[in-house]
Structure 1
């Protein structure tokens, strides 16, 4: 009788362990993706990487040139981090929302990785309900519609599969996949995107993140680190983490903010970076300023007298400024030759606190 009870108890215990293990999300990454995560955590010991969105595909007065970059034209070096956007990949289009071909984006990702740089991808996808862009906030049911049981769930899974196909296509000649920082569902603490704070519940937003993460895992995506990126709205750590989907989903923490008024910008940056530093330490996650900048950079010393003094005080892995639009006059965030802040940007580049592409080649971790 005792042996029988022991056998039954053992069977129940093993069955319970199997059941628990099948309900847990097992995170698998390629070796170089694990290496990237470790580098991001240790990067603040070396300096702060500089990043620029769409850096090598267009700039002020040029479009599509090869081996060109406004940043490189000013300081002689590429950014350490280059960012691109996957918007419209969900629609099966050959070009993204900023009219850059996905083939070109793929080639630039491979080139940046080959040079020793880092790549971040955002995703300004259209609304699956209205068919309009990410900024269409006319319908508050969009997030609910793509979750399990929603009317657009199957459509959305197809959209995620297109993202997965792109991630899985980023393969170097030796067969290794390029590690990527993926930053969807950003600035959700505001309400200007269809996944924003007033457009879905806290739980719906978390479920959107988990659905995205798990579907890409199911499709064999092992070369992605996931970045959670708020705006500057949170006033404390509790607000920052209000819609946080979990440590098993997120790998990097960030926030986005831009300068309009200088004093307000400084206050937003200081508060957000203080929050981010605390949360990063508590959750053992690297942190970054995932988007920032001053449109048209009219301040000739902005780089060394506004941006650098702030970011130098915090353990961030990188700071990234937005794109230099070739189709919208005055919409640029990095200097180009002759721009009023170009000379100051060279000083920013020369600072021992900032890291550009050449610096990364010489780092040892």
Structure 2
């Protein structure tokens, strides 16, 4: 006979996918993260296999691997290069990041994605000061000067 407390019920409800249409890969990642979190902590950082101390763009390298012998469990990529660039540069960046993601996925790693989106109507970058120099919304909505 089992007894369920409200705390157990709350914990069980907290650990479920909210997207009923999640892919098998998403479901597997979710399950694996739940299992690993019981006894382990996954370590990693942004751009871990893209550049490091004194190097950039070297195959199968990370500072973490140089020190520990293994790549970090988690790496983060940034798709900032997908915006505000010529089409050929965007394509080249997509191919480069696809390889980074595929390589880490093949190692069983977790990949996070950030997108520091440049303000499409100012010459600045993605930082707050760049985005407020020329507020984008009124320019990019239908009827705005920059709406394509």
TM over 0.5: yes
Verify: 1:39 aligned to 2:14, yes or no: no
Structure 2 equivalent of residue 297 of structure 1: none
What is the Cα deviation at residue 67 of structure 1?
1.2
Number of aligned residue pairs: give it.
Answer: 126
Given that residues 51 and 80 in structure 1 are in contact (C-alpha distance below 8 angstroms), is that contact kept between their aligned partners in structure 2?
Answer: yes
Gaps of 5+ in 2: 1-18
Q: Secondary structure, in 3 states, of the residue corresponding to 1:36?
A: helix
Max Rg structure: 1
Pairwise CA RMSD:
2.9
The normalised TM-score by structure 2 is 0.69
Give the direction of change, closer, same or farther, for the CA distance of 1:64–1:46 in structure 2 (3 Å limit): same
The equivalent position to 2:53 in structure 1, one of 53, 60, 66, is 60
Distance in 1, matches of 2:142 and 2:20, equals: 25
Q: Secondary structure at the match of 2:106?
A: helix
Q: Does 2:128 align with 1:128? A: no
Could you report, residue by residue, the CA deviation over 1:264-307 in whole angstroms, capped at 9, with x for unpaired residues?
A: xxxxxxxxxxxxxxxxxxxxxxxxxxxxxxxxxxxxxxxxxxxx
Residue 119 (structure 2) pairs with residue 137 (structure 1)? no
Distance (whole Å) between structure 2 residues aligned to residue 120 and residue 154 of structure 1 = 30
Mapping for residues 94-109 of structure 1, pairs under 5 Å: 94=89, 101-109=93-101
Deviation, 1:70, is 0.8
* Structure with more contact order per residue of length (Cα contacts < 8 Å, sep ≥ 6): 1
Using the TM superposition, give the Cα deviation of residue 65 of structure 1 relative to its aligned residue in structure 2, in angstroms: 1.4
Moved over 6 A (4+): none
Q: Residues of 2 paired with 1:78 and 1:113: CA distance?
A: 12
Could you state the TM-score of these two structures normalised by the residue count of structure 1? 0.31
Three-state SS of the structure 2 residue aligned to 1:91 is: coil
Secondary structure at the counterpart of residue 119 of structure 1: strand
SS of aligned partner of 1:112: helix
Contact preservation (8 Å) 1:88, 1:126: no
Residue of structure 2 equivalent to 1:77: 70
